[in-house]
């Protein structure tokens, strides 16, 4: 397809802590097309946030380091552009919403001014025009413009997240990275914020990388989904394909651990065991120690992704290990 | 779309809140008055500060000498008024220089991890030396006069500011909104000056109001050992120590300049507290 917006290829991010290498992201590949919403799902510690930060080159360094791979945004490798160039991209072409709206706004700056700051950083317009634009953005996310002069502590969590969304979208980015935007909010506010995100995504025609561990959010918002485990993608495909027919044992395990309203289940089936220690990953497939279908080859070799359906890839020896023969 | 007219700046908010704090406003008034006296001292003093009238030595405060006279018959009132120049120069000058250097170094140490060790170990060297020894060393090298004294005191106080700033800034830098700031494309300078610095100001302001009082006292100690202000210049701290041998008979010689120092220090502390509270929008009423 010719309209790829973001192509992450074989990305690896490692952290060095106390002479130990923590492999947060290992050979991750991901593609997002213009205007498309990709969900990135995984457990806590799977490397979702690190992937997001790496995309705009904000992995804290030290201790973190992007050790390999390429991140192509509109054909340009973001890992090679100058510091100045990447700053011009951040907030302008790619912007990010953070997980906790409570701490993501500067407590001593007026919310309006914080939205205005993004505008002034990227557009050459006067402060007055920027303020007008910031107000319009506030109204767009459902906050009355006369609250421009208020401080973050005067807003509720949901309102703050709206402000964050306004900050992120005010320069009309091509890609919005939302790092668990609803995790810190309660359910009713979650629904409102998701509705807002969906509406704005349509209006601005923004592509989105939605990071979450909530499969309900994915079903609600996303077109495609990638399941992440221990720093790599286990399975990716369209939302329909993955929700109707999960292939990877991990994805199947994930679905089994969610309560289903339609079915009477006596108890949920959690995936046994724990995520492997990222500083001491198993030699083969990272999921093999917990996998009910684990074979010998799984413990010694990493599976490469294979296509199992129309736009549905899975990295598991159950579905095409013969072909890979690592 | 409503048009915004006369949108007040954030400074306006701070001023409005400061105005509600009575103690801070009184303190501000006192400090402004002392500054004005310092500027116009030669015009307002009733006697020459160095004029020695041997017919009226050690006079108790009276109508012609409201604060009395010292052992050389000099008018203490005039000396206090004129002395405000030097005391303020030492107190504010030295502290402001120290605060500026300390804040810059502290912010850089907190933000640029590579500089942290270099800057903070250099500060440790300065802290490691006994304060007075360090001051005497610097002044002996530069020569004893009031300008060099200010330089010496600034150097002595810089590490304190650097440490306080670094500590506060480090906790701010780990906050998510700083990360969010780089995510909207702000550069290091902007993040440091517009986000990290204002959020780590509170302890620095307190440090400033404490250090200003202390550096006046330090200046007095230096003048006492002959490394600072030279007689007959009427520096408050020097006047306190000059009066010590007359404390039993003419207590006002020491007590009055002492009270002047206390007044400035207290005013500074209250104003500092007021400004800190006014700068924090969370403490709104």
| B112 and A CB contact within 8 Å | no
pLDDT digits (tens, 9 = 90+) for B217-263: 788 788 878 788 887 888 888 888 888 888 888 888 888 988 998 89
Q: Which residues from B are below 8 Å from A137, CB to CB?
A: none
User: 3-class DSSP state for residue B251?
Assistant: coil
- CA–CA distance, B242 with B236 (Å, rounded to integer): 10
pLDDT-derived band of residue A189, with 50, 70 and 90 as boundaries? Answer: confident
pLDDT recorded at residue B5: 44
HSE-CB for B26 with a 13 A CA cutoff: 7
pTM for this predicted structure = 0.81
pLDDT at B72: 84
Chain B residues inside the 8 Å CB shell of A62? 113
The verdict on a CB contact (< 8 Å) between B184 and A89 is no
Q: Which residues in chain B have their CB less than 8 angstroms from residue A99's CB?
A: 176
- How is residue B60 annotated by DSSP? P
Predicted pLDDT of residue B240? 85
Do A104 and B4 make contact, defined as CB atoms within 8 angstroms? no
In this structure, the answer to whether residues A201 and A311 fall within a common structural domain is yes
Q: Is the pLDDT of residue A259 over 80?
A: no
Same domain for A142 and A205, yes or no, is no
User: Is it the case that residue A326 has pLDDT exceeding 50?
Assistant: no
Closest Cα of chain B to A178: distance in Å?
12
Task: Assess if residue A96 is contained within a domain.
Answer: no
In a 3-state reduction of DSSP, which class is residue B109?
helix
Task: Tell me, yes or no, whether A92 lies in a domain.
Answer: no
Extract the residue ranges of chain B whose pLDDT is less than 70: 1-8, 284-285
Instruction: Based on the fold, state whether residues A180 and A251 are members of the same structural domain.
Output: yes
Within this chain, do residues A160 and A206 fall inside the same structural domain, yes or no?
no
Question: Cβ A109–B185 below 8 Å, yes or no?
Answer: no
* A77 and A206, same domain (yes or no): yes
| pLDDT tens digits, B91-125 | 889 999 999 999 999 999 999 988 999 999 999 99
Mean pLDDT of chain A: 85
End of a domain among A172, A189, A209? A172
Same domain for A218 and A292, yes or no, is yes
Q: Answer yes or no: do A114 and A179 share one domain.
A: no
Using the Cβ of B177 and the Cβ atoms of chain A, whether some distance falls under 8 Å is answered with: yes
HSE at residue A96, side-chain half, CA atoms within 13 A, is 31
Whether the predicted pLDDT of A325 surpasses 70: no
Q: Are residues A153 and A189 in the same domain?
A: no
Residues of chain A positioned with their CB less than 8 A from the CB of B280: 108
What three-state secondary structure class fits A172?
Answer: coil
pLDDT in tens, A112-139: 889 998 899 888 888 888 889 999 889 8
Smallest CA–CA distance from A89 into chain B, residue: B185
Q: Give the lowest-confidence range in A45-54, A236-245, B125-134, B218-227.
A: B218-227
Distance CA B210, CA A201 (A): 53
What is the number of structural domains in chain A? 2
Give the side-chain half-sphere CA count within 13 A for A296: 1
Alpha-carbon dihedral angle through residues B136, B140, B143, B145, given to the nearest 10 degrees: 20
The verdict on B185 touching A (C-beta cutoff 8 Å) is yes
**Which residues in chain B have Cβ-Cβ distances shorter than 8 Å to A58?**
179, 182-183
* Confidence (pLDDT) at B166: 95
Distance from CA of A301 to the nearest CA of B (A): 37
Share of chain A above pLDDT 90, in %: 4
What's residue A322's pLDDT? 44
- Ordered DSSP codes for B2-24: PPP-SPPPHHHHHHHHHHH-HHH
The pLDDT of residue A324 is above 50: no
Query: B94 CA to chain A: closest CA distance, Å?
Result: 29
CA angle, residues A133, A138, A141, in degrees to nearest 5: 125
Which carries the bigger pLDDT value, residue A242 or residue B63? A242
pLDDT interval class at A1 (50, 70, 90) = very low
In a shared domain, residues A34 and A153: no
Parse chain B into domains and list their residue ranges.
84-283
Whole-number pLDDT of residue B119: 93
From the CA atom positions of chain A, what is the Rg in Å? 21
Residue with tokens 């919310």: A111
What range defines the domain where residue A15 resides? Answer: 4-85+174-324
A149/A274 same-domain check: no
- Are A54 and A197 in a shared domain? yes
Q: Domain B84-283: state its class.
A: mainly alpha
At residue A314, the pLDDT reads 86
CB A17 within 8 A of CB A203: no
Please choose, from the candidates B277, B148, B131, the residue with its C-alpha nearest in 3D space to the C-alpha of residue B211.
B131
Same domain flag for A168 and A279: no
Q: Which of B7, B183, B199 minimises the CB distance to A90?
A: B183
pLDDT of residue A29: 86
């Amino acid at each position: 397809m010719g309209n790829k917006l973001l192509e992450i290829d074989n990305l690896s991010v490692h952290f060095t802590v106390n002479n130990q290498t923590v492999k947060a992201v290992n050979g991750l590949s991901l593609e997002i097309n213009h205007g498309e919403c990709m969900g990135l799902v995984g457990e806590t510690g799977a490397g979702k946030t690190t992937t997001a930060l790496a995309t705009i080159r904000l992995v804290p360094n030290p201790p973190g380091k992007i050790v390999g791979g390429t991140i192509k945004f509109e054909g340009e490798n973001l890992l090679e552009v100058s510091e100045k160039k990447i700053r011009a991209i951040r907030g302008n072409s790619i912007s990010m919403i953070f997980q906790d709206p409570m701490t993501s706004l500067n407590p001593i700056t007026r919310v309006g001014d914080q939205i205005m700051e993004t505008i002034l950083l990227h557009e050459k317009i006067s402060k007055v025009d920027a303020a007008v634009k910031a107000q319009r953005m506030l109204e767009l996310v459902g906050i009355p413009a006369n609250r421009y002069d208020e401080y973050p502590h005067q807003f509720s969590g949901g309102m703050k997240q709206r402000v964050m969304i306004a900050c992120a979208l005010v320069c009309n980015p091509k890609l919005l990275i939302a790092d668990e935007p609803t995790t810190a909010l309660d359910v009713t506010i979650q629904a409102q914020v998701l509705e807002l995100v969906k509406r704005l995504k349509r209006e601005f025609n923004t592509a989105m990388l939605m990071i979450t561990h909530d499969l309900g959010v994915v079903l609600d918002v996303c077109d495609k989904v990638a399941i992440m485990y221990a720093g790599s993608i286990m399975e990716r495909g369209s939302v329909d394909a993955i929700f109707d027919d999960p292939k990877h044992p991990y994805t199947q395990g994930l679905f089994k651990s969610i309560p289903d309203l339609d079915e009477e289940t006596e108890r949920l089936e959690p995936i046994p065991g724990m995520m492997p220690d990222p500083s001491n990953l198993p030699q083969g497939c990272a999921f093999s120690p917990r996998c009910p279908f684990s074979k010998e080859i799984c413990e010694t070799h990493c599976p490469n992704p294979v296509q199992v359906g129309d736009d549905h890839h899975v990295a598991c020896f159950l579905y095409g290990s013969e072909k890979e023969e690592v | 779309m409503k048009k915004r007219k006369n949108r007040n700046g954030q400074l306006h908010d701070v001023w409005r809140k400061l105005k509600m704090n009575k103690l801070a406003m009184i303190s501000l008034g006192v400090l402004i008055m002392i500054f004005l006296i310092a500027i116009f001292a030669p015009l307002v003093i009733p006697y020459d500060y160095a004029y020695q009238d041997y017919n009226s030595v050690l006079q108790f405060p009276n109508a012609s000498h409201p604060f009395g006279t010292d052992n050389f018959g000099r008018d203490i009132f005039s000396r206090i008024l004129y002395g405000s120049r030097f005391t303020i120069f030492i107190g504010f000058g030295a502290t402001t220089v120290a605060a500026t250097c300390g804040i810059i170094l502290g912010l850089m140490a907190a933000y640029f991890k590579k500089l942290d060790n270099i800057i903070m170990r250099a500060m440790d060297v300065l802290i490691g030396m006994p304060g007075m020894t360090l001051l005497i060393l610097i002044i002996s090298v530069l020569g004893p006069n009031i300008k060099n004294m200010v330089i010496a005191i600034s150097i002595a106080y810089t590490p304190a500011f650097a440490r306080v700033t670094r500590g506060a800034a480090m906790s701010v830098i780990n906050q998510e909104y700083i990360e969010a700031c780089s995510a909207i494309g702000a550069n290091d300078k902007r993040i440091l000056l517009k986000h990290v610095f204002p959020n780590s100001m509170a302890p620095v302001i307190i440090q400033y109001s404490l250090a200003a009082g202390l550096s006046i006292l330090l200046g007095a100690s230096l003048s006492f050992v002959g490394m600072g202000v030279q007689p007959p210049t009427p520096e408050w701290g020097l006047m306190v120590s000059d009066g010590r041998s007359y404390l039993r008979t003419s207590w006002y010689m020491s007590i009055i300049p002492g009270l002047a120092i206390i007044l400035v220090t207290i005013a500074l502390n209250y104003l500092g507290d007021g400004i800190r509270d006014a700068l924090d929008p969370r403490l709104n009423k």
